[in-house]
Amino acid sequence: MNEKTKKNKTLRGIGVSPGVVIAPAFMLMTESVCVVRHKIPKESVFTEIERFEDALIKTRQQILEVQNNLEQNTTMRDASILDAHLMVLDDHVFVDDVIKKVQAQTNVEAAVSEILESYAKMLASVEDEYLRERSADVLDVAKRMINNLTSAMDHSVLDLNHRHIVIAKDLSPSETAGMCKDMVVGFATDVGSPTSHSAVMARALEIPAVVSLRNISEQVSPGDEILIDGNKGVLIINPTEVQMEKYGRLAEARQTIERGLVTLQHKPAETTDGHKITLSANTEGLQEVDSVLRYGAEGVGLFRSEYLFLAIKGGIDEESQTAVYQQVAKRLSPAPVIIRTMDIGGDKLLDGSQFEREANPFLGCRSIRLSLLYPKSFKVQLRSILRASAHGNIKLMYPMISNVNEIIAANKILEEAKSELTAENIPFEKDIEVGIMVEIPAAVMTADVLAEHVSFFSIGTNDLIQYTLAVDRVNERVAYLYEPTHPAVLKMIKETVDAGHRHGIWVGLCGEMAADPVLVPLLLGLGIDELSVSPAAVPMVKDAVRTVGFVQAKELAAESLMCRTGTEVLNLCRHLTSEVAPELLELV
């Protein structure tokens, strides 16, 4: 196609990994090898089973190689994403089912393909977004197994020898993990969500990415120049010179702003008229402590302890938990570290028969409900947190509280753990602060009652918005309804803050809403005492705090609470940001 006649088109999807980049398109074809089912003679059964075992070994070696390469560039937790693939290969039910089919004289390629495709189809049909996305893991394993059984060539991103942006219908975790940052500078896919494995991988590898572009794989041709903006979720096919200049200036401006924000590391999160809040970081493990310190957070406002359980097959024992909590507390001392007890369920599921799969896990037995259902396991975690609290800067927080009875029941187990440690002469902080996450409308409406039993509230906006608006926050089909500035959400936040302050306790807020610098002045005006965000977002949020006056923030909140729509609120917030910190609009 002549350069002058190349189509120019702008598409919008979901940005899942930030950055602006331009490069030629590489069309990744992911069609599987065609498998033909046929009957094998009885004397070939043993040979077919041997081929199956050889393919299992080869496939496992390939996945381990990809996982090892990933560990060299990211954290262990990110590399452990491929554990799902290894679990399929280690599943004795899968192995037994294949062998039974082969013994019934079915060729091994067909046996593997039929069984894994049936598993994937079953997962793809369930309501839960997380489980639907796991069907991609099963299909990825199936493709590798079939390729190894047939010795098929698997052309992939590993074949690239110069910089490209990968375009695909979807990307498997191993395909994303196999990307070399020098050759793959970005990717875009038809489907996907911010929680998909490929999105998590992209952020870990720091590769700009846009997903949920519907039919981008059909609209792009090999050789097309592609520009993607992972911040805004924009993809441009064959950008014009004007568009390239615009995005070039935008990328340069973002880099300049981000470099400037680094200078805020040792400065307080304080408004222009002297109102100070606490700015903390969300973490999931030891590997992020360096980032907490580097970006200037004032401790940890949300330590997601469940990732210790998710990362280690079979769980983590008391000694290992205690060691992790102690190291985090010691490295950040005297800054506070708030450890949330295990928030398993919803889209975070443990392996093991005791944790049953549910049709609607976000409304099911998750978080504190699950902990109270298994008090022995819960007490082990509470003992670990208490043991680490001897360092003096640890606080404890229960997730997904919906009624006061849950707090009373959890505290009873906490007191049992304290009594045991006292009897064993193990030191701990006897007056450890205990708080709860407010993320269910029922907790908001009974906040005055709950406040009598805790030392602080932490509003979890991701779930509070989801439950208030009845919007699955990982479902791209209803993403347009997920609105942090919805009047109902603002009233929920304000009611929680007021109830907490009436009872003399502080109120924090975490979730994606806390990391949006445009909404920070609104949250300040609503009376939030603490914000907790990802470490990398700390400088941007701190800048938003330091460029606005508290009086301005309160006026914004008062006006916003009178608005009828979320759009009106957002426009007010953007207008204020354009006046006090216009540079931040370039980053969101």
209-211 and 278-283 beta bridge pairing: unpaired
> What is the residue extent of each domain of the chain?
3-29+156-242, 42-150, 258-435+512-587
Tell me which residue of 143, 218, 130 sits closest to 174, measured CA to CA: 143
User: According to the per-residue pLDDT averaged within each range, which of 27-41, 254-268, 373-387, 465-479 is highest?
Assistant: 373-387
Q: Which CATH superfamily is domain 42-150 in?
A: PtsI, HPr-binding domain (1.10.274.10)
> Does position 233 have pLDDT exceeding 70, yes or no?
yes
Residue 143, token pair as written in the block:
């493709």
Residue 575 annotated to the active site: no
Q: Return the axis-axis angle of helices 404-423 and 375-388, rounded to nearest 10°.
A: 60
Q: Which residue has the higher pLDDT, 516 or 277?
A: 277
Spatial distance between the Cα atoms of 85 and 175, rounded to a whole number of angstroms? 12
The answer on pLDDT for 345 being more than 60 is no
Evaluate whether 32 touches 142 at the Cβ level (below 8 Å): yes
The pair of structure tokens assigned to 460 is: 């979890």
* CATH number of the 3-29+156-242 domain: 3.50.30.10
pLDDT > 90: percent of the chain? 43
Task: Please state, in angstroms and rounded to a whole number, the distance separating the CA atoms of residues 543 and 313.
Answer: 40
pLDDT range class, residue 76, cuts 50, 70, 90 = very low
User: What predicted TM-score, i.e. pTM, was given to this entire model?
Assistant: 0.68
Q: Mean of the pLDDT values across residues 297-305? A: 93
Candidates 164, 391, 486, 510; catalytic one: 510
Q: What pLDDT is stored for residue 113 in this prediction?
A: 84
Name the nearest CA neighbour of 273 among 537, 554, 570, 522. 554
pLDDT band at 309 (very low <50, low <70, confident <90, very high): confident
What pLDDT sits at residue 153? 45
Beta-strand relationship, 164-168 and 184-189: parallel
Tens digits of per-residue pLDDT, 516-544? 899 999 999 999 999 999 887 898 899 99
Sorted by sequence, the CB contacts under 8 Å of residue 24 that are 6+ apart come out as 163, 164, 165, 223, 224, 225, 226
Q: Which residues contact 144 (CB under 8 A, 6 or more apart)?
A: 59, 62, 63, 154, 174
* Mean pLDDT of all residues belonging to the chain: 84
Catalytic residue among 197, 391, 486, 573: 197
User: Which pLDDT belongs to residue 231?
Assistant: 81
Q: Closest by alpha carbon to 257, among 277, 279, 231? A: 231
**CA–CA distance, 101 with 77 (Å, rounded to integer):** 36
**pLDDT band, very low/low/confident/very high, at 360 (cuts 50, 70, 90):** low
Which of these ranges, 340-354, 378-392, 446-460, has the smallest mean pLDDT? 340-354
CA 546 vs. chain centroid, Å, equals: 28
Q: Per-residue pLDDT averaged across 406-423, rounded?
A: 97
Cis, peptide link before residue 334, omega less than 30° from 0: yes
- The span from the CA of 348 to the CA of 399, in Å, is 14
Residue 167 corresponds to which tokens in the numbers above? 């375009």
Which residues contact residue 202 at a Cβ distance below 8 angstroms, ignoring those fewer than 6 apart?
16, 17, 176, 187, 208, 209, 230
pLDDT of residue 353: 38
Judge contact between 400 and 439, C-beta under 8 A: yes
**pLDDT band for position 351 (cuts 50, 70, 90):** very low
Is residue 84 very low, low, confident or very high in pLDDT (cuts 50, 70, 90)?
low
Residue 475 is predicted with a pLDDT of: 64
Q: How would DSSP label each residue in 111-126?
A: HHHHHHHHHHHHHHTS
Residue 128 has pLDDT above 60, yes or no: no
User: How far, CA to CA in Å, does 358 sit from each of 117, 147, 363, 527?
Assistant: 21, 34, 9, 37
Indicate the range of 6-15, 170-179, 221-230, 482-491 predicted with least confidence: 170-179
pLDDT range class, residue 498, cuts 50, 70, 90: very high
266 catalytic? Reply is: no
**Confidence at residue 161, expressed as pLDDT on a 0 to 100 scale:** 66
pLDDT band at 69 (very low <50, low <70, confident <90, very high): low
Query: Residue 575: pLDDT above 90?
Result: yes
**Residue 70: pLDDT band with limits 50, 70, 90:** low
Q: And the tokens for 530?
A: 């603490």
Asked if 3-29+156-242 and 42-150 have one fold, the answer is no
Please give the helix or strand (H or E) that residue 129 lies within, else none: helix 129-150
Query: For every residue of 311-331, which 3-state class applies, written as one string?
Result: HCCCCCCHHHHHHHHHHHHHH
pLDDT surpasses 70 at 83:
no
Q: How confident is the model at residue 109 (pLDDT cuts 50, 70, 90)?
A: confident
- Distance of alpha carbon 278 from alpha carbon 238, whole angstroms: 45
CA atoms in the 13 A half-sphere facing the CB of 509:
29
Among the residue ranges 89-98, 149-158, 286-295, the one predicted with the least confidence is: 149-158
Top-confidence residue, 47 or 438:
438
The pLDDT-based confidence of 347 (bands split at 50, 70, 90) is very low
Question: Which pLDDT score is estimated for 77?
Answer: 46
pLDDT in tens, 545-557: 999 999 999 999 9
pLDDT digits (tens, 9 = 90+) for 153-188: 444 555 566 788 988 888 766 667 667 777 888 999
The percentage of residues in the chain with a pLDDT greater than 70, rounded to a whole number, is: 82
Most confident of 138-147, 201-210, 295-304, 559-568: 559-568
Instruction: Kindly state the DSSP code that residue 455 receives in the 8-state scheme.
Output: S
Task: State residue 138's pLDDT score.
Answer: 75
pLDDT at 72: 59
What mean pLDDT comes out for the span 385-391? 95
Q: How far is 167 from 186, CA to CA, in rounded Å?
A: 9
pLDDT for the residue numbered 352: 43
Q: Residue 34 — pLDDT band, cuts 50, 70, 90? A: low
> CATH says 258-435+512-587 is which class?
alpha beta
Question: How many whole angstroms separate alpha carbon 521 and alpha carbon 556?
Answer: 8
